[in-house]
Amino acid sequence: MVVNYASSKAGADAVVKRITGNGGKALAVQADVSKLEDIQRLFAATNSAYGRLDILVNSAGIYEFAPLEGITADHFHRQFNLNVLGLLFTTQEAVKLMDGNGGSIINISSMVGRMPVPSASVYSATKAAVDAITVALAGELDPRRSA
């Protein structure tokens, strides 16, 4: 298992210790999944350690609530770059390591994607995008399983 972390090495190392302490194999890799270079490095480490990938859990995400007048380009891009673009790029890299033999991709979303709340328009939009991407990619990637 590869445990990705953005900033908490101690937390990731604790997860790795629990896994290896129970007989599993794991390593921690630091990568900011809002950055393509970091994503590529994360999956290169995964490939080097395991040679393939069976399951990807896209759980990285941030939320910043702001009323309409508080929304800035930085506020928007910070959330979309991690919550949406990062999810797409990690999925691209994961599929390369799944090599058509099947695998699972789990995308973590939120109810606010379908039921937005006040001051969460940008965050809600990212989670609605995650829901739409999940449905679209399920149809796109499923035929590759037997290819």
125-132: average pLDDT: 98
Pick the catalytic residue: 5, 50, 63, 123?
123
pLDDT confidence of residue 102: 81
Q: Could you report the per-residue pLDDT of 83-92, keeping only the tens digit for each? A: 999 999 999 9
Q: What is the CATH number of the domain that holds 122?
A: 3.40.50.720
pTM of the model: 0.91
In the residue annotation, 5 being an active-site residue is answered as no
pLDDT confidence of residue 147: 47
**Burial per residue of 4-29, b for 16 or more beta-carbon CB atoms within 10 angstroms, e otherwise:** bbeeeeeebeeebeeeeeeeeebbbb
Assigned domain for 106 exists: yes
Give dist(CA 131, CA 117) in Å, integer: 17
Number of domains into which the chain is organized: 1
- DSSP assigned state of 104: E
Does the pLDDT of residue 42 top 70, yes or no? Answer: yes
Q: Could you report the per-residue pLDDT of 63-119, keeping only the tens digit for each? A: 999 999 999 999 999 999 999 999 999 999 999 999 777 899 999 999 999 999 999
Assigned domain for 28 exists: no
Assigned domain for 15 exists: no
